[in-house]
């Protein structure tokens, strides 16, 4: 018997957008929500490949009858998720005021770069811009170099998509008490800043008093950084505590009484060179043999090709394979009673489920046929392979 998932019965209408919004929708779908992705007719679908577990409805929202279709869906949905620039939904006559008047229980999630108000609210931007404006980017980078964004993960997916997911879940929980939905203003600048609360709260502790890239946790310390191995691989070192640092030194064949104090900042550059020279003499596999099973806090930097073969990940089933043999991380966290069961099906084609979704939401076949003839909606059912 299949165990129900945590979000079973939650209906989500997601307006197609760029990566952070689709990621939020995918997380909800992974944990059991019924997510309908609303695509623009003729579009190429979710280029960020975050469509797992979703169905696709293609409708032209720029036309009044198309907007009316969406209003009908939202009248019966639990959550509406949009990631347009502020003002777009108002122009389409799909504002929170309109949709929540028809459905007071609707949770209206708005995911944007800079927020729904403020002087930057309607300006274009990407992860690196949001990260920069949050203050966090100023703390990331090597000593003497310009700040650099760690891929587009922090603002897009951490401060953006994941924070929006959290907001939706909190609003769903609050609705169990009040019976009312609410509007969520999730944005990547404030989400990323909030994600960086530790940096703000520890400003007076001495952790960040050195220039960027010269502090204990930003690559300045020899015991908290990465090192190249003889075969071109890398090892990650995070031996912060004295007892772990001792085990690191032991694995490297060094003795603490012959070295400067671990926290002697002036000696860190020279110690990094010493550690680098030692790590460069053995392969990644050889270092793994030395440090595996110890508390030295030394681990291999696994490539995407290596990560699925890691024994620990295999023990836990941390990565999953879909029907097209694509590999991706298993949804996290694990819930003991209602674990996520992500779909293994291929991503939907644009408009693949248009007709079945409209029927579920009360549209008659006659209404659907008329919408199709007027090119308000688009239906693209996959052809059977004969």
Q: Which positions are catalytic?
A: 126, 156
- Which residue, among 338, 293, 340, 298, has the nearest Cα to 317 in the 3D structure? 340
Helical H runs in the chain?
A: 20-30, 64-74, 88-91, 96-102, 127-134, 163-178, 188-195, 197-201, 242-252, 268-279, 284-291, 304-307, 311-316, 354-360, 365-373
Whole-angstrom distance, CA of residue 164 vs CA of residue 157: 9
**Residue where the block lists tokens 């019965």:** 9
Q: How far is CA 250 from CA 231, 234, 253, 298, 326, in A?
A: 22, 19, 5, 12, 41
Which run of H or E residues covers position 91? helix 88-91
Q: Is the bond leading into 375 cis (omega within 30 degrees of zero)?
A: no
Phi then psi for 20, rounded to 5 degrees? -60, -45
Whole-angstrom distance, CA of residue 326 vs CA of residue 344: 9
Ramachandran region, residue 151 (left: φ > 0; alpha: ψ -120 to 50; beta: rest)? left
Sign, CA dihedral 182-186-190-196, equals: positive
- Which residue, among 20, 122, 89, has the nearest Cα to 80 in the 3D structure? 89
What angle (nearest 5°) sits at the alpha carbon of residue 17, between those of residues 12 and 23?
A: 60
Joined tokens for residue 300? 């291999």
């Amino acid at each position: 018997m299949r165990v129900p998932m945590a979000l079973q019965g939650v209906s989500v209408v997601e307006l197609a957008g760029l990566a952070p919004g689709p990621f939020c929708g995918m997380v909800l779908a992974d944990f059991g929500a019924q997510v309908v992705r609303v695509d623009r007719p003729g579009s190429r679908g979710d280029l960020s490949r975050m469509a797992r577990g979703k169905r696709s409805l293609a409708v032209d929202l720029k036309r009044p009858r198309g907007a009316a279709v969406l209003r009908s869906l939202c009248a019966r949905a639990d959550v509406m998720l949009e990631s347009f620039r502020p003002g777009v939904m108002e122009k389409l006559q799909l504002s929170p005021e309109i949709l929540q008047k028809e459905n007071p229980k609707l949770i209206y999630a708005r995911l944007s770069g800079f927020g729904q108000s403020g002087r930057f609210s309607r300006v274009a931007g990407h992860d690196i811009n949001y990260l920069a404006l949050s203050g966090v980017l100023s703390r990331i980078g090597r000593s003497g170099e310009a700040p650099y964004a760690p891929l587009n993960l922090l603002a897009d997916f951490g401060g953006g998509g994941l924070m929006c997911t959290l907001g939706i879940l909190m609003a769903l929980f609050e609705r169990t008490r009040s019976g009312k939905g609410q509007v969520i203003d999730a944005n990547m600048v404030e989400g990323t800043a909030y994600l960086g609360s530790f940096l703000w709260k520890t400003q007076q502790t001495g952790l960040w008093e050195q220039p960027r890239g010269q502090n204990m946790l930003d690559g300045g310390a020899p015991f908290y950084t990465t090192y190249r191995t003889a075969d071109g691989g890398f090892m990650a070192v995070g031996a912060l505590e004295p007892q772990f640092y001792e085990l690191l030194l032991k694995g490297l064949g060094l003795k603490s009484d012959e070295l400067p104090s671990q926290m002697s900042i002036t000696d860190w550059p020279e110690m990094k060179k010493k550690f680098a020279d030692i790590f460069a003499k053995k392969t990644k596999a050889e270092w793994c043999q030395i440090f595996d099973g110890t508390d030295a806090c030394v681990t291999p930097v696994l490539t995407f090709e290596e990560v699925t073969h890691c024994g620990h990940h295999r023990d836990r089933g941390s990565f999953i394979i879909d029907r097209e043999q694509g590999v991706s991380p298993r949804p996290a966290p694990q819930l003991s009673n209602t674990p996520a069961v992500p779909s293994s099906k291929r991503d939907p084609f644009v408009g693949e489920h248009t007709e079945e979704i409209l029927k579920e939401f009360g549209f008659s076949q006659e209404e659907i046929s008329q919408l199709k003839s007027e090119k308000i909606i688009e239906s693209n059912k996959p052809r059977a392979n004969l």
